[in-house]
Amino acid sequence: MSLQRQYKIEMDHVSFDADFDRKTIGLLQEAAKKKERVNMKQHRLIKILAAAAALVVFAASAFALAKLVIPQELFRGMEVELESLQAVVDVENADADSVRTMHKTFSNDDFSMTFEAIAKGKALRSVWHFERGNSEQTAHSVDDILNSALNQEPEQKAVDSLYAIFTVRRNDGGVVLYAEDGKGLTGADLGYCLLIKGYYPNPNMLFDETHRDIGTYEEGDVLYVACDITNAAAFADQELSIAFTNTMVPSIDILAMTPDGEFYYKDGYDGVPGLYDFDLDDSLADPVRAAELKSHGTFHTYEEFQSLMAEEDAAP
């Protein structure tokens, strides 16, 4: 017998006071009112900001405003203060205030994933400060760094951030995240990879310790997912894409690029083949930051990647 069944049987045999229902309902109603008053005070500012952002972005399109509704719980759960929100629309429906893409939705037999919006906001980050030793002190500096991190409180810092917002739906209409029927997804099933035209897919290309977050919130059997794309802003003047899948790491095992620079999923991949192009304001481009990210050694042209693979195959 399951624990849930045993619990129900035992609860069915508990005797309650005749006024139990009335008293309990009254207490719950009062508690709910108090909680709502607290929530309203705490979140009034972010609601005002979100409403103002929506009005600015969608003032010219009442239809778009009615269609795009992103629950604020998604941003609150990520400790993000929302500043603006731009709808992602198919190219033929795009206007000056929208982010354009060729295909908003990709599906397989089980799930459908739609690129809904790009959000800009301030994300609260924990930043540790410690000194690194020189090359002669490396053996000792590792311990020093660890001890320093363990014995200090991190600085809480608001950082400018960008997020790609997706919705995920089960095609049978069921709960998406941690579904009791086992047909849904877990947090480990969600992944994304930022792509830049001309560079072979690499999940580490735009990754760093500060920007690689995924936030989730489910409402009405629709899973909302926010993917941190902050580092893509440095390449805003280039052609950008994002692969979003029900695979934790969309790596070169499933993603590839043609010699002409077109991205695609390899044969045999049976997950959702989410592949979206998008544009950011060119004014966000930062050549210095772009050069810093490129210095990590994860940016390879098609020819460079093929050469690396050949070297690996030839290695003993």
pTM of the complete model:
0.70
Which residues touch 226 (CB under 8 Å, ≥6 apart)? 74, 75, 78, 80, 119, 163, 164, 165, 213, 214, 215, 216
CA 11, 13, 14 angle in degrees (round to 5)?
Answer: 70
Print burial letters for 36-75: b (CB count within 10 Å at least 16), e (below 16): eeeeeeeeeebeebbeebbeebbeebeebeeebebebebb
pLDDT of residue 37: 45
Report strand pairing: 274-278 vs 99-101: unpaired
- The tokens describing 143, both together, are 């311990």
CB-CB contact of 193 with 250 (8 Å): yes
- The tokens describing 17, both together, are 């006071």
Over the chain (316 residues), what is each successive 10-residue block's mean pLDDT? 43 46 48 44 37 36 49 88 88 71 89 94 70 47 58 73 95 96 94 95 82 86 95 95 93 94 94 93 94 90 93 79
pLDDT of residue 209: 63
pLDDT of residue 136: 47
pLDDT of residue 1: 44
Burial class, 82, CB count within 10 angstroms (exposed 0-12 / middle 13-18 / buried 19+):
buried
